[in-house]
Structure 1
């Protein structure tokens, strides 16, 4: 399997940090709320962060909010930066299933245990697309070429070990192709993968539905399948199962804060994000982007995170994605 990782994770030496809901010296939020999108512009984390920024400004107009990007290594560079902000109640980081996989793939020295879980926000299905000029008219066409010579079928997507990569591996396994032979081209942001597709530089691409749907509707990309159990409304695309591959997977995204927050700091951020979630601008954006509202806070989200880390570690090991 040929793998290009455009940003390497720099190892950091870190002291012990408090975990979820710790009794550190953090205080309740008071200044400008900064939201880190730990990826380059154009991808799902960036899109979620900027959507949240606008919804927060509408729901809490008295609060200043700004988004900044820290791309690289599936979000683990941003995660390491977050770890250096122990107790900061004015900082959130957008994250999700991609980061869970990247932590394993990159053997990150910083893990989600060193963050404060705030909220799970959305789920989103993945979509497999090809350029409009592609000879692959159906998923069966792509699979046939894959079986004939996996190296000749290049698949562009997000970070190594992330959701897009996992989908590619699961598709290969279902098609009878060795997942280790998948020619997966990893990127730090969805914009880079999209540019390769629109420039006819890769055979296919995998990303969240919200990132490619507009270009499918405009005719610039052709959808070969989605990872949902049933067809999605407003999108002319079969499911992967309809195309003969028994693969179903939903990506998810959420917010975490630095470790070491006081209970007051954790509650202030949770209350603010809950207010955002309940706002009309957020609900409209969720519907427009085809996201699934899966809001969850507190201990349930912390437990969910722990379970996801164990599940994804098993998937990545089975697929041989850990180098």
Structure 2
């Protein structure tokens, strides 16, 4: 595997504790006779847009502006960065509240590629994983994880996958169009313009169902059991009291069920994937394990690293 690593993309993981970019929005589900308040904060610049959209939908849902319990909006890149840097996971450093939304990923090839569909590409990757150069975002980031999951789903030797990471989708596109890569993966909004211009062709999307008004099959339709999104979620502080956690979960459920949030997701091209409370915490545990397994296959993390502690070494929720 060619190594072009950009670990700096994951520095936002520390923001879940530090809380950068604060914008205060309270919630209205507290105990009898009083209102609980929440300050919603993006866990880094990457999550500014979704944090602002979530805060706006909270206001539209009737939550007044104020100060109070900190709720941090962060996601999959922070989880992967913690693994790459051998740091504590989001399960250990925060209280999981609710999954919010996700960006769909797309697998693309040059317009003149010999891979006419995903089946052609998948057959080549299965037979020659070390001779199918791939491109996308930084090593260990969601694009890289997706190719790892695809390789595993096909039955290919993930250790041989030839992936080069780039700091931006523009640079990944240059690599793809110049012949340095046979295929690339990235956020659908980042590639939609080039797809529409006919410069690249989309082979598959990572979501469980097709994207509306985008006639491209899913990976599941293409025979690969992968349902994947660059997800974003809401987290509380590590030492969050149970009463505050319950109020924050109610606020998240109110917001993600609101017309304002659904409209914000449609406008931004996100998929709304709400999951809250204990169900979200369990899902997050499985996502930590899935991410860790792929990074381990790539040789990017220690194969002997302990598995998720499931509440014995963190907030216990």
TM-score higher than 0.5 = yes
2:257 corresponds to 1:250: no
In 1: Cα distance, 2:66 partner to 2:164 partner: 37
- For the pair 1:196 / 2:176, whether they are aligned, the reply is no
Q: Secondary structure at the match of 2:7?
A: coil
In structure 2, what is the equivalent of residue 95 of structure 1? 75
Alpha-carbon separation, structure 2, partners of 1:136 and 1:231: 21
Q: 1:280 to 1:258 in 2, by over 3 A?
A: same
**Does the aligned pair in 2 maintain the 1:131–1:198 contact within 8 Å?**
no
**Does the aligned pair in 1 maintain the 2:129–2:157 contact within 8 Å?**
no
When residues 257 and 5 of structure 1 are mapped into structure 2, their CA distance, relative to the original with a 3 A threshold, is farther
Q: Which residue does 1:128 correspond to in 2?
A: 107
* CA distance in 1: counterparts of 2:57 and 2:44, whole angstroms: 16
Do the aligned partners of 2:219 and 2:225 also contact (CA within 8 Å) in 1? yes
Using structure 1 for the length normalisation, give the TM-score. 0.66
Counterpart for residue 59 of structure 1: 61
Task: Tell me the equivalent position of 1:49.
Answer: 51
> 1:260-279 counterparts in 2 under 5 A?
260-279=239-258
Q: CA deviation at 1:280?
A: 1.9
**Secondary structure at the counterpart of residue 274 of structure 2:** strand
Task: Please give the alpha-carbon distance, in whole angstroms, between the structure 1 residues aligned to 2:173 and 2:48.
Answer: 19
Q: How large is the RMSD of aligned CA atoms in angstroms? A: 3.9
Alignment of 1:156 with 2:132, yes or no, is no
Give, in angstroms, the shift of residue 168 of structure 1.
0.8
Alignment correspondent of 1:70: none
Q: Which residue of 1 aligns with 2:44?
A: 37
Segments of structure 2 that go 5 or more residues without pairing to the other structure are: 14-35, 303-317
Question: Superposed, which structure 2 residues align to 1:281-296 within 5 Å?
Answer: 281-288=260-267, 291-296=270-275
User: How far apart are the structure 2 equivalents of 1:315 and 1:187?
Assistant: 19
Aligned-pair CA distance for 1:237: 1.4
Shift of 1:158: 5.0
Output the CA distance in 2 between the equivalents of 1:38 and 1:5. 20
Alpha-carbon offset, residue 116 of structure 1: 1.3
Q: Which moved more, 1:128-137 or 1:164-173?
A: 128-137
- Asked if structure 1 preserves the Cα contact closer than 8 Å seen for 2:135 and 2:172, the reply is no
Question: Which TM-score applies when normalising by structure 2?
Answer: 0.67
1:207 corresponding residue in structure 2? 186
> What is the alpha-carbon distance in structure 2 between the residues aligned to residue 253 and residue 320 of structure 1?
26
